[in-house]
Amino acid sequence: MSDDRKPVSTTSLSLELDKIPESAIKEFPRKDGTTGRAVNITALNYDTEDQFGKSASVVLSSTKEERDAGKELVFCGGGWHNKTKAADASSIKTAKDDIPWM
């Protein structure tokens, strides 16, 4: 993570792996020669909590064409969005250099 970028909020999410269809999981080559597996997700952050106290949902990412066609979202998790509490940037660890699209 670049030193000039600072987190402005946090979102804690849990994914229900059994809700992710195998077709949504993509393989990619890592720099170390191994193959990784990833799925593109989108966090939906709400202004209020639901009946379970959650303020965020996780869905499989969709294309503009899928959204325009009205394709139903695939929900695969939920969590909490805290727009007022920034994460401590020094505590965030990432393997960003090993993931080609980040």
Is residue 3 included in any domain, yes or no? no
For 15, 28, 91, 95, the CA distances from 58, given in Å and listed in that order, are: 7, 22, 23, 22
Q: Tokens standing for 100?
A: 């080609």
Is residue 25 included in any domain, yes or no? yes
Instruction: Give me the pLDDT at residue 102, please.
Output: 44
Report helix, strand or coil for 78: strand
pLDDT tens track for 87-97: 554 455 555 55
Instruction: Give me the pLDDT at residue 18, please.
Output: 94
Is residue 96 included in any domain, yes or no? no
Q: Would you say residue 62 has pLDDT above 70?
A: yes
Q: What is the mean pLDDT of residues 47-71?
A: 93
Is residue 102 included in any domain, yes or no? no
Structural domain including 29 reads: 10-88
Model's pTM, two decimal places?
0.69
